[in-house]
Structure 1
Amino acid sequence: MEGTGGAASPFHSHVFLGEGHEKSERKTWAVIWLCGAMMVAEIVGGLLFGSIALVADGLHMSTHAGALLLAALAYTYARKHANDSNFTFGTGKLGDLAGFTSAIILAMIALLIAYEAITRIFAPVPIHFAEAIPVACLGLAVNIASAWLLSGGGHHHGHGHGHAHGAHDPDESRRVSTDGGIVALEVFETGAPPRFRLRAETGPALTAQAASVETVRPDGVRQLFAMQDQGGYLESIDEIPEPHAFTAHVQIGQQTYAVVFEEHEHAQGSAARDNNMRAAVIHVMADAAVSVLVIAGLLLARTFDWLWMDPLAGIIGSIVIASWACTLIRDTGAILLDMNPDQSMANNLRDAVENEGDQVADLHLWRLGPGHMGAIISIITSQAREADYYRSRLARFRSLSHLTVEIVHKS
C-alpha cells in the first residue's frame, strides 16, 4: 500500500482563499463606511430635529453595518492567517463560518420583524407618514448603493479557482518538437473568442500557407483550421467550439504532429461560491426588500387609511428574509460539515480513474474555500502504476487544490 500527498513536491501551498479575496474585502469595508456614515447622520439628525423615525432607522442601520463588519473581519482574518500552519487546510472556510453566523443573525432579525408586525396588528400605533416615508426611501437608496459597491460596480467575472484561459495558462498551451525547432500551440481566449495560436519558439518563423490545425473529437468529428499571420504568431481564422477536448493535428510543411487537449473541470455552483460575500449581499438585499415593502405599505396606509398594510408589509418581509436565511444556513452548514459539494465532480473523478480498469475503493471530496476542493482517493489497481500517474490523470480537475492519492496494488 502506498500513499502520497497531492502535489509533485511534498511542500505545497495551503492558501485556499477565493478569487478576488482582497477585492471583496475592500468592497465590504467600503460598504461598512457608507452604512456607518449614514447611521451617524440619521441618529444625529434625528436627535437634532426631534425625529424618532430617523433615530430608529439609524439604529437599524447599525445592525446592518454590524453584520457587514462580521464579513469584513472574516475576510481580513482569513487573509492575514492564510499561511498559518495551525490551520491544517488553510483559512478558506472562514468565510463560510461567517456566512453561517450571518444567516443565523438574519433569521433572528426575521423573527423580530414578524413579532413586531404581529404585535402592531393587534395594537396599532400612530404612523408619522411625513417622516417615515422619506426615511424608508433614504434607507432604500443606501441599500442600492451598498449592493452596487458589493457587486464591484456591476462587474463580476471569474471562476472560483482564479483560472483564466489564455496565453498564460500552461494547461492550454502545448509545445511540439518539430524538425525545425520547438513550436507552441495554444488555445487563446483572453478577452476574445477562443482561437488557436501557433508560434515558433526556436527555429525559423512559421508561415500561414505552410501551417494548419485539424481537430479530431472523441466522437470522430473533424474540423480544419486555416491560419493567418498576426505578426510574430499564427492565429486560426475560425473560432474553436466548446468543449476544448480533442486531438489537434498540427501540420507544418509536410509533417503532422498530434497534440491532445483535455477539457478542464472547475468547481460549480455552491462549491465555487463565496458565501461570505453572499451573506453580505443577502443582508443588503433583505434590507432593500423590507424598505420596498415598507414604502408600499406606508403609501397604501396613507392613501386608503389602511393602517394594517404597514404590519402586513413587515410580515411579508420577515418571510422573505427567513427564506433567504434558511437557504444560506443550509448551504454554509453543509460546507462546515464537509458534505460533498459537487456530486458531478465526484462522479467524474471516479470515472477518470475507473475507465482504465482500476477501481476506486474510497473517495472523499470536500470544499476548502471558494473554488478550492480537497480530495482523498483510494485506488485499487493491478497495474504497476504509482501516485504520479493518477495525479496526472486528474490534473484536468482544476479546482482540486489538495489531492491525496492512496494506491493498493493487488496481485
Structure 2
Amino acid sequence: MIDNDDGAAAAFHSHFFLGEGHETSERKTWAVIWLCGFMMIAEIIGGLLFGSIALVADGLHMSTHAGALLLAALAYTYARRHANNPAFTFGTGKLGDLAGFTSAIVLAMIALLIGYESINRIFDPVAIHFAEAIPIACLGLAVNIASAWLLSGSEHHGHGHGHAHEGHDHDEQHEIATASGRVVLEIFEDRVPPRFRLSAISGAALDAQASSIETVRPDGTRQFFAMADRGGFLESHDEIPEPHAFTARLRIGEKNYPVVFEEHEHAHGSAARDNNMRAAVMHVIADAAVSVLVIIGLLLARAFGWLWMDPLAGIIGSFVIASWSYGLIRDTGAILLDMNPDNRMANRLRQEVEADGDTLADLHLWRLGPGHLGAIVSVVTGRERDADYYRARLARFKSLSHLTIEISRKP
C-alpha cells in the first residue's frame, strides 16, 4: 500500500520561497542602478562637451555595468510581484538564480572582450592619454566603491556564505539565575569542536571543581561533562556529540538547573546563498578590480614608459573575471538543473528517517529559493505510521519549505 500524503494543511500552504531580505536587496540594487545611470549620463555629456572620447567611452562602459545590475533588479521585482502567482508551481524563488546565471554569461563575455582587446594592444600598441585616462579610471573606481557600499550589508550574497555552525541553528545560549548570580550556558562550536561553555554575568563565582553538566537525551541516554577553567569561563573537557537536542542538567555546588537545548537544521552554503545579489556584487567587484589594475598599469606606463603594463593589467583582469564567472555559472546551473544543493542535509534526513528501523527508499532534495528547499521523501515501513508522524520527525529541518511524504507498507 502506498500512502502519498503531503498533509492536510499542505494543500493550502504558501509557495512564497523568496530569500530573507529580498525587498532590501531589491531596493539596494535599484539605488546602485540610479548611481551608475547618473554617472553614465554625466560622463557621456561631459565627454561630448569637452571633446574627450575617453570620457564618452567610459560612460558607454558604465552603461553595460548598469545593464547587468538592471537584470538583477528586474529579477527581484518580478519575483516579488509574482511570488504568489499559481502559474509558478514552486514559486519564483529561482528567478534570482536564473538572473545570476545570465549575469555570469555576461561576465564571461566581458572577460573575453577585455582579454581580446588587451592581447591586440600588446601587438599593436596605441597612444595612451594619461592626463585623461588616469582620472577617468579613478572616477570609475570611486563609483564602484560607492556601489559596493550601497550593496553591502546584505547577508546573502557572499561567495562562501554559510552558517558558522555548518547548517545548525542551535538554541545555544541560555541565561540562568543561580543561587550565587546569573550565568550563561552555551554550546560553542565556532570553527572548533562543540563544547559547553559556562560564563558568569553578575555575582556568580564559577568553580570548575564544583560545576558539571549531565545531558539527558530523549531516548534516555546520559552523558557526564566535567568542566575546566579557561580563564573567564568554564568549558567542558569532552566534545558534545550530535545531535544537540537534549536536557542539560547544570550542577553548580549542590544545586541543579535543567536547561533544554533544541536543534534545528537550516540550509547552508549554496542552498542558502542569494545568487542574484552575488551576481550584482560580482559585477561591481569585477569592475573595481579592473579599475585598480588599470590605474596601476597606467601609472607604471607613465613613470617608466612600460606601455605593455596597460594591456597586461587587462589580461590579468580578464582571467580574474573569468574565474568568478565560472564559479557563478557552476553554482546557478546546478540549481537550475535541480541538483542536490546540500549533501549534508540529505544525509541527516536519511539518518532521521532510518533512526527507528524504517528505510528511506528514495529522496529528492532541491532548492526552491535562497534558504528554501523542497523534498520528496519515500519511506518503507512495517509499522502503522502515517505522513504526519514523519512530518513531525522532520520538523527540525526548518529549510524544508515544501515537503512531500510517500509511505510504502512492508508486506
Give the TM-score normalised by the residue count of structure 2: 0.79
Question: What is the identity, as a one-letter code, of the residue corresponding to 1:95?
Answer: G
Q: What is the alpha-carbon distance in structure 1 between the residues aligned to residue 379 and residue 410 of structure 2?
A: 10
RMSD: 3.4
Matched, 1:135 2:136: yes
1:229-378 correspondence runs (5 A): 244-248=244-248, 261-378=261-378
Q: What is the alpha-carbon distance in structure 2 between the residues aligned to residue 46 and residue 374 of structure 1?
A: 52
Deviation at 1:102, TM superposition (A): 0.2
Answer yes or no: is the 8 Å Cα contact 1:215–1:246 preserved in 2: no
Q: What is the alpha-carbon distance in structure 2 between the residues aligned to residue 355 and residue 79 of structure 1?
A: 39
Give SS of 1:408's match: strand
Stretch deviating more after TM superposition (352-361 or 4-13): 4-13
Tell me which residue corresponds to 1:33.
34
Q: What is the alpha-carbon distance in structure 1 between the residues aligned to residue 156 and residue 372 of structure 2?
A: 22
Tell me which residue corresponds to 1:47.
48
Answer yes or no: is the 8 Å Cα contact 1:19–1:159 preserved in 2: no
Deviation at 1:62, TM superposition (A): 0.4
Note the alpha carbon deviations across 1:224-283, whole angstroms, 9 max, x for none: 9xxxxxxxxxxxx999998852125699xxxx9988643111111000000000000000
Deviation at 1:221, TM superposition (A): 3.5
Query: Kindly tell me: are residues 290 and 257 of structure 1, through their superposed partners in 2, closer, same or farther at Cα, counting changes over 3 Å?
Result: closer
Q: What is the alpha-carbon distance in structure 2 between the residues aligned to residue 88 and residue 126 of structure 1?
A: 57
Query: Kindly tell me: are residues 7 and 130 of structure 1, through their superposed partners in 2, closer, same or farther at Cα, counting changes over 3 Å?
Result: farther
Q: What is the alpha-carbon distance in structure 2 between the residues aligned to residue 152 and residue 362 of structure 1?
A: 39
Question: What is the identity, as a one-letter code, of the residue corresponding to 2:122?
Answer: I
Tell me which residue corresponds to 1:203.
none
Note the alpha carbon deviations across 1:280-331, whole angstroms, 9 max, x for none: 0000010001001100110111111011111111111011101100110000
Tell me which residue corresponds to 2:97.
96
Alignment coverage as a number of residue pairs: 361
Answer yes or no: is the 8 Å Cα contact 1:159–1:266 preserved in 2: no
Give SS of 1:221's match: strand
Q: In the alignment, which of 219, 222, 225 is matched to residue 220 of structure 1?
A: 222
Give SS of 2:321's match: helix
Unaligned runs of 5+ in 2: 175-184, 188-195, 199-211, 227-232
Q: What is the alpha-carbon distance in structure 1 between the residues aligned to residue 356 and residue 155 of structure 2?
A: 46
1:48-63 correspondence runs (5 A): 48-63=49-64
Q: What is the alpha-carbon distance in structure 2 between the residues aligned to residue 323 and residue 7 of structure 1?
A: 47
Give SS of 1:144's match: helix
Query: Kindly tell me: are residues 347 and 165 of structure 1, through their superposed partners in 2, closer, same or farther at Cα, counting changes over 3 Å?
Result: closer
Query: Kindly tell me: are residues 385 and 274 of structure 1, through their superposed partners in 2, closer, same or farther at Cα, counting changes over 3 Å?
Result: same
Give SS of 1:406's match: strand
Unaligned runs of 5+ in 1: 174-186, 196-212, 225-236
Tell me which residue corresponds to 1:15.
16
Query: Kindly tell me: are residues 96 and 11 of structure 1, through their superposed partners in 2, closer, same or farther at Cα, counting changes over 3 Å?
Result: same
Question: What is the identity, as a one-letter code, of the residue corresponding to 2:357?
Answer: G
Tell me which residue corresponds to 1:408.
408
Q: What is the alpha-carbon distance in structure 2 between the residues aligned to residue 164 and residue 339 of structure 1?
A: 22
Deviation at 1:50, TM superposition (A): 1.1
Deviation at 1:152, TM superposition (A): 3.0
Q: What is the alpha-carbon distance in structure 1 between the residues aligned to residue 270 and residue 128 of structure 2?
A: 43
Q: What is the alpha-carbon distance in structure 2 between the residues aligned to residue 217 and residue 280 of structure 1?
A: 48
Q: What is the alpha-carbon distance in structure 2 between the residues aligned to residue 384 and residue 306 of structure 1?
A: 80
Q: What is the alpha-carbon distance in structure 1 between the residues aligned to residue 94 and residue 26 of structure 2?
A: 15
Q: What is the alpha-carbon distance in structure 2 between the residues aligned to residue 361 and residue 164 of structure 1?
A: 25
Identity of aligned residues (%): 73
Give SS of 1:70's match: helix
1:97-116 correspondence runs (5 A): 97-116=98-117
Matched, 1:117 2:118: yes
Query: Kindly tell me: are residues 152 and 314 of structure 1, through their superposed partners in 2, closer, same or farther at Cα, counting changes over 3 Å?
Result: same
Question: What is the identity, as a one-letter code, of the residue corresponding to 1:302?
Answer: R
Give the TM-score normalised by the residue count of structure 1: 0.79
Query: Kindly tell me: are residues 15 and 111 of structure 1, through their superposed partners in 2, closer, same or farther at Cα, counting changes over 3 Å?
Result: same
Q: What is the alpha-carbon distance in structure 2 between the residues aligned to residue 28 and residue 98 of structure 1?
A: 13
Stretch deviating more after TM superposition (151-160 or 214-223): 151-160
Deviation at 1:172, TM superposition (A): 11
Matched, 1:387 2:393: no
1:141-156 correspondence runs (5 A): 141-152=142-153
Query: Kindly tell me: are residues 6 and 135 of structure 1, through their superposed partners in 2, closer, same or farther at Cα, counting changes over 3 Å?
Result: farther
Tell me which residue corresponds to 2:396.
396
Tell me which residue corresponds to 2:78.
77
Question: What is the identity, as a one-letter code, of the residue corresponding to 1:216?
Answer: T
